[in-house]
Amino acid sequence: RPANRDTALRPHPPYRLLRNVMAKSPVRIGPAAAQGHIRYRFGFIDGIAFAPPVTGEQRVSAGATGVTLDICIRCGPGLPSDPGTLAGARRATAWLQHDHPRVLALARPVIRRQLSPARTMEELAVRARTVMQRIDFTGHRSAADALASGSGDCTEDAVVLAALGRAAGIPTRVASGLVYSRERYHGVSNVFMPHSWTLAYVDGAWRSFDMSLDGFDATHIALTIGDGDARSIAAAGQLASLLDWQSLAEVRTRASP
């Protein structure tokens, strides 16, 4: 925008990227509610509507003025599980290099144990945490590059775990969207912030694995599903900015009399 010389050369505070893409939660969400079933209702800003993805934990119901998301451990039908889809979720990509020596070396000790697919994903996450020890919010790295640097944020954690899963022959994808933080983070608390995690087809169903937060809960809102590519992750942030938050409620099963 137009400015004079003095204004242009004056020191300015840094742009707080993460803080500016957070969304204030309508209510404070307690641990019990997060581990249960939460129903979200959204409209769309300026009428720019889109369809959030369906996952094994996320059910999507479109209405005349918005969309309802029901999120819980078994709320959603999951991603497609036909042979073609599962084969595509096992392939190496530029972001998920499951055949890279660095990825294979980390995965092999777990693969040799011949655990169930779900247990394999859990153990792969434990091993990956021994390497991914430094937080770095800058940029986005592929799985092989993230392991080489030993640093990253949730996006790198998601691609690393997805690549390790594919190395073990498990179909995986990367979900990106929002997650709730009750605690103060980057100067803000009680907010939904950008987040990525891993989806894996284990024991006959698609299930979410979150290496960064040590597990999935009902505050994970998926907005894109991809292969860990930067474009899919960036798109989730853009879609989040179109959401008009209308309501958020815990869904409880009525006790029998």
Q: What is the pLDDT of residues 201-227, one digit of tens each?
A: 999 999 999 999 989 999 999 999 999
Domains of the chain with bracketed CATH: 79-241 (3.10.620.30)
Rounded Cα–Cα distance for residues 219 and 227 (Å): 22
Tell me: pLDDT of 12 over 80: no
Closest Cα to residue 206, out of 216, 192, 219? Answer: 216
CA dihedral 52, 222, 179, 229 (to 10 degrees): -120
Contact 198, 174 (CB under 8 A): yes
Q: Is 155 helix (H, G, I), strand (E, B) or coil?
A: helix
pLDDT for 15 equals 47
Which residues partner with 150 through β-bridges? none
- How many CA atoms are closer than 13 Å to the CA of 123, on its beta-carbon side? 16
Contact 143, 95 (CB under 8 A): yes
pLDDT digits (tens, 9 = 90+) for 157-191: 999 999 999 999 999 999 999 999 877 555 667 89
Rounded Cα–Cα distance for residues 33 and 217 (Å): 9
In this structure, the strands spanning 134-135 and 67-71 are unpaired
Closest Cα to residue 77, out of 62, 56, 60, 52? Answer: 56
Is residue 205 packed enough to be buried (19+ CB in 10 Å), middle (13-18) or exposed (0-12)? middle
pLDDT digits (tens, 9 = 90+) for 92-135: 999 999 999 999 999 999 999 999 999 999 999 999 999 998 88
pLDDT for 184 equals 59
Burial 105-123 (b: 16+ CB within 10 A, else e): ebbeebbeeeeebeebbbb
Q: How confident is the model at residue 229 (pLDDT cuts 50, 70, 90)?
A: very high
Rounded Cα–Cα distance for residues 122 and 161 (Å): 9
